[in-house]
Copies of this chain bind each other. A is one copy, B any other.
Protein backbone atom coordinates (compact mmCIF):
# COMPACT_ATOMS: atom_id res chain seq x y z
CA UNK A 1 0.00 0.00 0.00
CA UNK A 2 3.10 2.20 0.33
CA UNK A 3 3.13 5.10 -2.11
CA UNK A 4 3.46 8.86 -2.21
CA UNK A 5 0.74 11.45 -1.66
CA UNK A 6 0.68 15.19 -2.19
CA UNK A 7 -0.78 17.57 0.38
CA UNK A 8 -2.43 20.84 -0.69
CA UNK A 9 -2.61 23.27 2.23
CA UNK A 10 -5.59 25.63 2.44
CA UNK A 11 -5.34 27.15 5.92
CA UNK A 12 -4.43 30.75 4.97
CA UNK A 13 -7.56 30.92 2.76
CA UNK A 14 -10.17 28.29 3.59
CA UNK A 15 -8.89 28.04 7.13
CA UNK A 16 -9.00 31.69 8.10
CA UNK A 17 -11.77 33.04 5.89
CA UNK A 18 -14.47 32.65 8.50
CA UNK A 19 -12.52 33.38 11.67
CA UNK A 20 -14.58 35.70 13.91
CA UNK A 21 -11.62 38.07 14.31
CA UNK A 22 -9.79 39.32 11.22
CA UNK A 23 -6.29 37.79 11.26
CA UNK A 24 -3.56 40.32 10.47
CA UNK A 25 -1.52 40.07 7.28
CA UNK A 26 1.59 39.67 9.46
CA UNK A 27 0.06 36.68 11.26
CA UNK A 28 -0.94 35.16 7.90
CA UNK A 29 2.60 35.61 6.59
CA UNK A 30 3.97 33.99 9.76
CA UNK A 31 1.62 31.04 9.20
CA UNK A 32 2.67 30.77 5.55
CA UNK A 33 6.34 30.97 6.59
CA UNK A 34 5.78 28.10 9.02
CA UNK A 35 4.07 26.04 6.32
CA UNK A 36 6.89 26.64 3.84
CA UNK A 37 9.48 25.71 6.49
CA UNK A 38 7.53 22.50 7.17
CA UNK A 39 7.88 21.51 3.52
CA UNK A 40 4.48 22.40 2.07
CA UNK A 41 4.83 23.24 -1.62
CA UNK A 42 1.19 24.06 -2.52
CA UNK A 43 -0.44 26.67 -0.33
CA UNK A 44 -3.76 28.41 -1.02
CA UNK A 45 -3.11 31.84 0.45
CA UNK A 46 -6.17 33.96 -0.30
CA UNK A 47 -9.20 34.62 -2.44
CA UNK A 48 -9.97 37.43 -4.86
CA UNK A 49 -13.62 37.66 -3.94
CA UNK A 50 -15.17 41.08 -3.40
CA UNK A 51 -13.59 42.27 -0.10
CA UNK A 52 -17.04 43.04 1.30
CA UNK A 53 -17.89 39.32 1.01
CA UNK A 54 -15.09 38.03 3.21
CA UNK A 55 -13.32 40.75 5.26
CA UNK A 56 -10.77 38.14 6.37
CA UNK A 57 -9.42 38.08 2.81
CA UNK A 58 -9.61 41.79 1.99
CA UNK A 59 -5.81 42.00 2.32
CA UNK A 60 -5.34 39.69 -0.69
CA UNK A 61 -3.30 42.12 -2.78
CA UNK A 62 -1.00 43.11 0.09
CA UNK A 63 -0.57 39.51 1.22
CA UNK A 64 0.42 38.36 -2.26
CA UNK A 65 2.83 41.25 -2.69
CA UNK A 66 4.57 40.23 0.55
CA UNK A 67 4.67 36.45 -0.01
CA UNK A 68 8.11 34.87 0.50
CA UNK A 69 8.78 33.61 -3.02
CA UNK A 70 10.53 30.25 -3.44
CA UNK A 71 11.00 28.36 -6.72
CA UNK A 72 9.61 25.14 -5.21
CA UNK A 73 6.54 26.74 -3.57
CA UNK A 74 3.32 27.29 -5.48
CA UNK A 75 0.95 29.88 -4.01
CA UNK A 76 -2.68 29.64 -5.02
CA UNK A 77 -5.52 32.16 -4.88
CA UNK A 78 -9.22 31.54 -5.30
CA UNK A 79 -10.73 33.45 -8.24
CA UNK A 80 -14.54 33.55 -8.48
CA UNK A 81 -14.66 35.23 -11.88
CA UNK A 82 -12.75 37.19 -14.57
CA UNK A 83 -12.30 40.16 -12.23
CA UNK A 84 -10.70 37.89 -9.66
CA UNK A 85 -8.49 36.37 -12.33
CA UNK A 86 -7.33 39.85 -13.38
CA UNK A 87 -6.40 40.64 -9.79
CA UNK A 88 -4.43 37.37 -9.61
CA UNK A 89 -2.61 38.31 -12.81
CA UNK A 90 -1.91 41.79 -11.38
CA UNK A 91 -0.33 40.04 -8.39
CA UNK A 92 1.76 37.85 -10.68
CA UNK A 93 0.32 34.72 -9.12
CA UNK A 94 0.89 31.67 -11.30
CA UNK A 95 -1.71 29.41 -9.71
CA UNK A 96 -5.44 30.08 -9.41
CA UNK A 97 -8.44 28.09 -8.19
CA UNK A 98 -12.02 28.40 -9.39
CA UNK A 99 -15.07 27.07 -7.58
CA UNK A 100 -18.65 25.99 -8.16
CA UNK A 101 -20.96 23.45 -6.57
CA UNK A 102 -22.21 20.09 -7.78
CA UNK A 103 -25.64 20.91 -6.31
CA UNK A 104 -27.87 23.65 -7.71
CA UNK A 105 -29.04 25.13 -4.41
CA UNK A 106 -25.59 25.45 -2.87
CA UNK A 107 -24.25 26.95 -6.10
CA UNK A 108 -27.04 29.56 -6.15
CA UNK A 109 -26.53 30.47 -2.48
CA UNK A 110 -22.76 30.50 -2.82
CA UNK A 111 -22.27 32.39 -6.09
CA UNK A 112 -25.84 33.48 -6.99
CA UNK A 113 -25.72 31.62 -10.31
CA UNK A 114 -27.15 28.42 -11.72
CA UNK A 115 -24.64 25.63 -12.27
CA UNK A 116 -24.90 26.14 -16.03
CA UNK A 117 -24.19 29.86 -15.63
CA UNK A 118 -21.20 29.01 -13.45
CA UNK A 119 -19.87 26.48 -15.98
CA UNK A 120 -20.17 29.01 -18.80
CA UNK A 121 -18.36 31.66 -16.76
CA UNK A 122 -15.65 29.29 -15.56
CA UNK A 123 -14.95 28.07 -19.10
CA UNK A 124 -14.01 31.66 -19.93
CA UNK A 125 -11.98 32.11 -16.74
CA UNK A 126 -10.11 28.84 -17.26
CA UNK A 127 -9.47 29.54 -20.96
CA UNK A 128 -8.09 33.00 -20.17
CA UNK A 129 -5.96 31.64 -17.31
CA UNK A 130 -4.48 28.99 -19.59
CA UNK A 131 -3.73 31.62 -22.25
CA UNK A 132 -1.78 33.43 -19.53
CA UNK A 133 0.04 30.17 -18.70
CA UNK A 134 -1.50 29.92 -15.26
CA UNK A 135 -2.07 26.58 -13.56
CA UNK A 136 -5.75 26.11 -12.75
CA UNK A 137 -7.40 24.11 -9.98
CA UNK A 138 -11.19 23.88 -10.00
CA UNK A 139 -13.15 23.07 -6.87
CA UNK A 140 -16.37 21.11 -7.12
CA UNK A 141 -18.16 21.87 -3.85
CA UNK A 142 -20.88 19.64 -2.32
CA UNK A 143 -19.43 16.70 -4.28
CA UNK A 144 -20.35 14.32 -1.41
CA UNK A 145 -23.55 15.93 -0.21
CA UNK A 146 -25.35 19.28 -0.07
CA UNK A 147 -26.53 20.92 3.15
CA UNK A 148 -29.67 22.06 1.31
CA UNK A 149 -30.40 19.11 -0.99
CA UNK A 150 -28.88 16.18 0.91
CA UNK A 151 -27.42 13.47 -1.31
CA UNK A 152 -26.08 14.82 -4.60
CA UNK A 153 -26.48 12.52 -7.64
CA UNK A 154 -23.07 11.10 -8.54
CA UNK A 155 -23.93 11.81 -12.19
CA UNK A 156 -24.10 15.54 -11.38
CA UNK A 157 -20.67 15.41 -9.71
CA UNK A 158 -19.27 13.56 -12.73
CA UNK A 159 -20.86 16.00 -15.22
CA UNK A 160 -19.47 19.09 -13.49
CA UNK A 161 -16.05 17.51 -12.91
CA UNK A 162 -15.75 16.38 -16.50
CA UNK A 163 -16.92 19.76 -17.86
CA UNK A 164 -14.26 21.58 -15.82
CA UNK A 165 -11.58 19.09 -16.88
CA UNK A 166 -12.55 19.49 -20.55
CA UNK A 167 -12.57 23.28 -20.05
CA UNK A 168 -8.86 22.99 -19.27
CA UNK A 169 -8.64 22.81 -15.48
CA UNK A 170 -5.35 21.13 -14.55
CA UNK A 171 -6.66 19.82 -11.23
CA UNK A 172 -10.16 19.16 -9.95
CA UNK A 173 -10.69 19.21 -6.18
CA UNK A 174 -13.80 17.36 -5.08
CA UNK A 175 -15.02 19.12 -1.95
CA UNK A 176 -16.99 17.55 0.90
CA UNK A 177 -18.23 21.01 1.88
CA UNK A 178 -20.15 19.97 4.98
CA UNK A 179 -18.49 16.64 5.76
CA UNK A 180 -21.40 14.54 4.51
CA UNK A 181 -19.21 12.00 2.75
CA UNK A 182 -18.56 8.49 3.93
CA UNK A 183 -15.92 5.96 2.81
CA UNK A 184 -18.32 4.09 0.52
CA UNK A 185 -19.60 7.25 -1.20
CA UNK A 186 -16.03 8.49 -1.63
CA UNK A 187 -15.13 5.26 -3.44
CA UNK A 188 -18.25 5.48 -5.62
CA UNK A 189 -17.63 9.12 -6.63
CA UNK A 190 -13.92 8.61 -7.31
CA UNK A 191 -14.55 5.52 -9.41
CA UNK A 192 -17.36 7.27 -11.36
CA UNK A 193 -15.15 10.28 -12.10
CA UNK A 194 -12.31 8.04 -13.30
CA UNK A 195 -14.72 5.96 -15.38
CA UNK A 196 -15.91 9.19 -17.04
CA UNK A 197 -12.40 9.81 -18.35
CA UNK A 198 -10.93 12.18 -15.76
CA UNK A 199 -7.54 10.69 -14.78
CA UNK A 200 -7.16 10.33 -11.01
CA UNK A 201 -3.81 12.13 -11.07
CA UNK A 202 -5.87 15.25 -11.88
CA UNK A 203 -8.21 14.69 -8.91
CA UNK A 204 -7.80 15.97 -5.35
CA UNK A 205 -10.03 15.36 -2.35
CA UNK A 206 -10.96 18.30 -0.14
CA UNK A 207 -12.62 16.73 2.90
CA UNK A 208 -14.21 18.40 5.89
CA UNK A 209 -14.43 16.75 9.29
CA UNK A 210 -17.80 18.20 10.23
CA UNK A 211 -19.19 14.79 11.13
CA UNK A 212 -15.89 13.12 12.08
CA UNK A 213 -15.21 11.11 8.94
CA UNK A 214 -12.53 13.20 7.18
CA UNK A 215 -9.57 10.88 7.77
CA UNK A 216 -11.58 7.73 7.06
CA UNK A 217 -12.78 9.37 3.84
CA UNK A 218 -9.22 10.34 2.91
CA UNK A 219 -8.11 6.75 3.52
CA UNK A 220 -10.96 5.52 1.33
CA UNK A 221 -9.97 7.97 -1.41
CA UNK A 222 -6.37 6.83 -1.15
CA UNK A 223 -7.44 3.20 -1.49
CA UNK A 224 -9.48 4.25 -4.55
CA UNK A 225 -6.37 5.72 -6.17
CA UNK A 226 -6.45 9.45 -5.34
CA UNK A 227 -3.02 10.82 -4.38
CA UNK A 228 -3.67 14.52 -3.67
CA UNK A 229 -5.45 15.59 -0.50
CA UNK A 230 -6.32 19.02 0.86
CA UNK A 231 -5.74 19.86 4.47
CA UNK A 232 -5.96 22.86 6.74
CA UNK A 233 -3.37 23.00 9.51
CA UNK A 234 -4.92 22.17 12.92
CA UNK A 235 -8.24 21.64 11.13
CA UNK A 236 -9.00 25.35 11.11
CA UNK A 237 -11.78 26.63 8.88
CA UNK A 238 -14.89 25.61 7.02
CA UNK A 239 -17.35 27.00 4.50
CA UNK A 240 -19.04 30.28 5.50
CA UNK A 241 -22.03 29.57 3.23
CA UNK A 242 -22.76 26.06 4.45
CA UNK A 243 -24.68 25.68 7.73
CA UNK A 244 -22.92 23.25 10.03
CA UNK A 245 -19.72 23.27 8.04
CA UNK A 246 -16.66 23.46 10.27
CA UNK A 247 -13.21 21.99 10.32
CA UNK A 248 -11.30 21.08 7.23
CA UNK A 249 -9.40 17.83 7.52
CA UNK A 250 -6.47 18.66 9.82
CA UNK A 251 -3.30 18.63 7.72
CA UNK A 252 -1.04 17.34 10.49
CA UNK A 253 -3.50 14.49 11.11
CA UNK A 254 -3.33 13.56 7.41
CA UNK A 255 0.45 13.80 7.35
CA UNK A 256 0.73 11.70 10.53
CA UNK A 257 -1.61 9.02 9.19
CA UNK A 258 0.16 8.70 5.85
CA UNK A 259 3.63 8.82 7.42
CA UNK A 260 2.62 6.09 9.88
CA UNK A 261 1.33 4.07 6.92
CA UNK A 262 4.72 4.41 5.24
CA UNK A 263 3.32 6.77 2.61
CA UNK A 264 5.63 9.69 1.80
CA UNK A 265 4.10 13.20 1.99
CA UNK A 266 7.21 15.37 1.60
CA UNK A 267 6.06 17.29 4.68
CA UNK A 268 7.92 17.38 8.00
CA UNK A 269 5.43 16.12 10.60
CA UNK A 270 7.05 17.98 13.51
CA UNK A 271 7.03 21.18 11.49
CA UNK A 272 3.37 20.70 10.56
CA UNK A 273 2.37 19.94 14.17
CA UNK A 274 4.34 22.92 15.46
CA UNK A 275 2.69 25.20 12.88
CA UNK A 276 -0.73 23.95 14.01
CA UNK A 277 0.11 24.48 17.69
CA UNK A 278 1.35 28.02 16.95
CA UNK A 279 -1.79 28.84 14.93
CA UNK A 280 -4.01 27.68 17.83
CA UNK A 281 -1.99 29.98 20.08
CA UNK A 282 -2.28 32.92 17.65
CA UNK A 283 -6.04 32.43 17.30
CA UNK A 284 -6.27 31.98 21.07
CA UNK A 285 -8.56 28.98 20.98
CA UNK A 286 -8.68 25.22 20.75
CA UNK A 287 -8.56 24.00 17.14
CA UNK A 288 -10.12 20.68 16.07
CA UNK A 289 -6.98 18.95 14.78
CA UNK A 290 -5.80 16.02 16.90
CA UNK A 291 -2.14 15.41 16.19
CA UNK A 292 -0.82 18.91 16.99
CA UNK A 293 -2.27 18.55 20.52
CA UNK A 294 -0.76 15.09 20.96
CA UNK A 295 2.55 16.43 19.67
CA UNK A 296 2.46 19.42 22.05
CA UNK A 297 1.55 17.18 25.00
CA UNK A 298 4.39 14.79 24.21
CA UNK A 299 6.89 17.67 24.08
CA UNK A 300 5.65 19.03 27.40
CA UNK A 301 5.95 15.58 29.02
CA UNK A 302 9.42 15.09 27.57
CA UNK A 303 10.54 18.48 28.89
CA UNK A 304 9.10 17.60 32.32
CA UNK A 305 10.94 14.27 32.27
CA UNK A 306 14.25 15.91 31.36
CA UNK A 307 13.93 18.48 34.16
CA UNK A 308 12.67 15.93 36.70
Interface residues of A (CB under 8 A from B): 1-2, 179, 181-185, 187, 209-213, 215-216, 218-220, 223, 243-244, 247, 250, 253, 256-257, 260-262, 286, 289-291, 294, 297-298, 301
Contact = CB atoms under 8 A, between A and B. Distances in A.
Contacts of A257: 182-183, 212-213, 216
Given A1-B184, A211-B253, 11 more contacts: A2-B184, A181-B260, A182-B261, A183-B219, A184-B260, A211-B294, A212-B256, A213-B215, A213-B260, A216-B219, A286-B286
A291 B179 CA distance: 10
Question: Taking the full assembly, how many copies of this chain does it contain?
Answer: 2
Contacts of A212: 215, 250, 253, 256-257, 289-291, 294
Nearest to A235: B212
A80 B149 CA distance: 52
A183 B253 CA distance: 13
A291 B289 CA distance: 15
B219 A261 contact: no
A1 B211 CA distance: 21
A211 B291 contact: yes
A299 B185 CA distance: 25
Given A218-B216, A219-B220, A243-B301, A260 B209 contact: no
Nearest to A2: B184
A158 B185 CA distance: 34
Contact of A294 (B1, B219, B244): B244
A301 B244 contact: yes
B291 A260 contact: no
19 contacts: A1-B184, A2-B184, A179-B294, A181-B260, A182-B260, A182-B261, A183-B219, A184-B262, A185-B260, A210-B290, A211-B253, A211-B294, A212-B256, A212-B294, A213-B215, A215-B215, A216-B218, A216-B257, A244-B298
